[in-house]
Structure 1
Amino acid sequence: MVMKGDGPMVVGLMWSMAVLCTLFTVLRTYTRTVIVKSFGADDIVFIVACLMFIMYTIFLTISASIGFGQNMWEIPDVDVPPTVLYSAIGQTFSIFGMAIAKWSLGLFLLRLVCTTMHKIAIWLPLVLCFLTSVLCAAFFWFGCAPIEAVWNRALPGSHCNVLPRVPMYYVYGSTLVFTDFYFAIFPWFFIWKLNMKKREKIVVLCSMSLGIFAAAFGILRCSQISGLTSPNFLKAAVRIILFAAAEQCVTMICIGIPVCRPLYREYLNRLASRDSSNCNQTSTIRDCHLPTTGELIRHTSTSEAGFYADENRSDEEVFACEQRRSSRAAVDPEKGAIRGTEEFEVADTTKA
């Protein structure tokens, strides 16, 4: 069937966002497996969230090919139930997909914190997201009697007041918005106190705080919840479908940006090393820095028991508990690497 009404717009926008999510998933997977070599549970969860978004898009595409995005009276009666059914299946993937995306960020933050209180502070919103997503899906599918009334309101004797579905939708949406704001603010409480360059702190924290944009789409989605109960559902639900897709897409992009920092940082390092190589190959050394007489050269060495974080390492290596413990190894060598710093003075040999 040819898509009509808002169907082509919905499908076009959702597949565009699906491509973006897939792109960041590929970049993140490459970063964590090849560059950082630290592929973990948060990366698996991120991939699952991407698959959930793709499934969401597929079912909305099927629904739009039948009649989603059109007014109810413009669609043959026989096409209304399958249109609503495929849309409902897609929204179920969206309900869990958005919660799973928040879990990916939470599990990533768990890699960076050390204290029990910080870990508890991360687990609480994650558990809350899980519970509300399960309840929202349950209220969505079991809020009507019989269940078939969810996608076929024309059934004799059917009704959808078994469970308070609309209040549950607001609870679920508010929980996701709260989680976005929470994870955007939370890193500032422990990363800002770390001993690292201020510029690097600002870059990392700002990239982790991009979740406020996902929260903005979450607020817009909550403002359109009434469309789910509209008699003209297939037309009225267009905005909430798009805002839900945008919220999950932006969430995944905001999660992917800080995790992919080692990827583009390595690219910049390669450009810098290429420029340095060109400098070394030129016949003049006026643009290259050489130590002058009396200048101190500092050399830092680290034992095999650990290593020091610098700008060329991943976020986990910069912040993780093991590396923070290793930074105190000079005081207590049993807890990490031993760092030694030596200074050499450049002597003037022409006077000898």
Structure 2
Amino acid sequence: MTVYIPLSENPRGIKIYAVQWPLTFLSMVFLGLRLYTKVLRRRQFWWDDYFIIAAWIFLLLSCCTTSINVRHGFGLHDADVPPENLGVFGIISNISGFASVLSVTLSKTSFALTLLRLVTDRWMKWLIYGLVALISVTHYISAIFFWVSCNPPAKTYKWDLPGECWPATFTISFSIFVGSCSAFSDFVLALLPWRILLRYNMYNREKLGVAAAMSVGILAGITCIVKLTTVPVLKQGDFSYNSLPLVLWGFIEPACTIIAASIPMMRHLFKRCNRTSQVNDDDSSTHSIEPQVYTRNDRYRPGVDPEPKA
């Protein structure tokens, strides 16, 4: 029977709650506004919408499973985790990491699919297809490794079973390779909108705004680089205590990607709100109780515009 650890005895667990749940809620808000914008414009959902919805579902799964593991002792030293919790602890850790990697993959694929709808050059389409293939192959393999990196496979979550696992140096090297591919894809996908939008027939100010919004994905690339710096903790042992930065940054990356992929879709919602506020301002100015009549002498009165506009 498992033993639940009070949060008061697990301060690092409180830090996990303080990071993951607000980010999960914030990404849900941005995703909801993205979908609401499409409904408002009476546009049908496309593949990029379904991919990012799936990405958020896996993000939520990762958040929930990590939160459950905090109650089982995640954040404490391995020696302080109750032995009766180790079986559940291991399998929940695998589910959390598996869901986090899938969330990264699906969110980046969603943004790439969005760009495909704007691209006209063949070479750019092939570049995006190549990035999607690179992200998918590396991350799906990484997700599978959570379940097959030991012999027997059950040892991946039952650490007390006899058997062997892959060397930590291989796991670290492959994780850094996957993270590097992810960061490279983020930066390329964030810079492509500038190339695409420069040829569109739009005001320069609007072009810059849309391109900047679509380049927020650079933030996801930066979080991925920060996550890479935490990967070497895997060879330090004491997984429950030392892996906290890796788990947090592995969660922050897909959350930021979902937010970054949702912002460009909200452009029409912002424009609609702006137009509505302008109309309300015009209505309030034209429905005054008593119209003002300006004369030549009014320009010398305090508080009256000297040259009222027609």
Q: In the alignment, which of 13, 17, 25 is matched to residue 23 of structure 2?
A: 17
* Segment drifting more, 277-286 vs 228-237: 277-286
Please state if 1:186 is matched with 2:199: no
Which consecutive unaligned segments of at least 5 residues does structure 2 have?
295-306
The equivalent residue for 1:153 is 159
The equivalent residue for 2:46 is 40
Matches within 5 A, 1:12-91: 12-35=18-41, 37-91=43-97
Runs of 4+ in 1 over 6 A off after TM superposition: 285-290
SS in 2 for 1:164: helix
Q: Which has the higher helix share?
A: 2
Q: CA deviation at 1:163?
A: 10
CA distance in 2, matches of 1:95, 1:203: 31
Supply the AA of the counterpart residue of 1:65.
Answer: R
8 Å Cα contact 1:53-1:93 kept in structure 2: yes
Q: CA deviation at 1:167?
A: 2.1
CA distance in 1, matches of 2:309, 2:251: 52
CA distance in 2, matches of 1:111, 1:239: 36
SS in 2 for 1:193: coil
Q: CA deviation at 1:69?
A: 0.7
Please state if 1:259 is matched with 2:253: no
Give CA-to-partner distance per residue, 1:26-62, whole Å, 9 cap, x none.
1111111123524211111111111110000011011
Supply the AA of the counterpart residue of 2:187.
Answer: F
TM-score, normalising length from structure 2? 0.87
- Quick one: structure 1 residues 99 and 157, their matched pair in 2 at CA, closer, same or farther if it must change by over 3 Å? closer
Q: CA deviation at 1:78?
A: 2.5
- Quick one: structure 1 residues 163 and 13, their matched pair in 2 at CA, closer, same or farther if it must change by over 3 Å? closer
Give CA-to-partner distance per residue, 1:139-184, whole Å, 9 cap, x none.
3321111112212332223333499332221121111111110111
Give CA-to-partner distance per residue, 1:302-327, whole Å, 9 cap, x none.
xxxxxxxxxxxxxxxxxxxxxxxxxx
Q: In the alignment, which of 203, 208, 212 is matched to residue 209 of structure 2?
A: 203
- Quick one: structure 1 residues 159 and 50, their matched pair in 2 at CA, closer, same or farther if it must change by over 3 Å? closer
Larger RCO: 1 or 2 (CA < 8 Å, sep 6+) = 2
Give CA-to-partner distance per residue, 1:252-295, whole Å, 9 cap, x none.
111111111111211111011122233443535999987xxxxx
TM-score, normalising length from structure 1? 0.77
The equivalent residue for 2:176 is 170
* Segment drifting more, 137-146 vs 206-215: 137-146
8 Å Cα contact 2:62-2:96 kept in structure 1: yes
The equivalent residue for 1:109 is 115
8 Å Cα contact 1:279-1:285 kept in structure 2: no
Please state if 1:121 is matched with 2:127: yes
- Quick one: structure 1 residues 193 and 81, their matched pair in 2 at CA, closer, same or farther if it must change by over 3 Å? same
Aligned residues: 290
Which consecutive unaligned segments of at least 5 residues does structure 1 have?
291-352
Q: Aligned-residue CA RMSD in angstroms? A: 2.2
CA distance in 2, matches of 1:78, 1:216: 39
Please state if 1:270 is matched with 2:276: yes
The equivalent residue for 1:235 is 241
**Percent identity of the aligned residues?**
25
8 Å Cα contact 2:168-2:234 kept in structure 1: no
- Quick one: structure 1 residues 70 and 5, their matched pair in 2 at CA, closer, same or farther if it must change by over 3 Å? farther
8 Å Cα contact 2:227-2:246 kept in structure 1: yes
SS in 2 for 1:114: coil
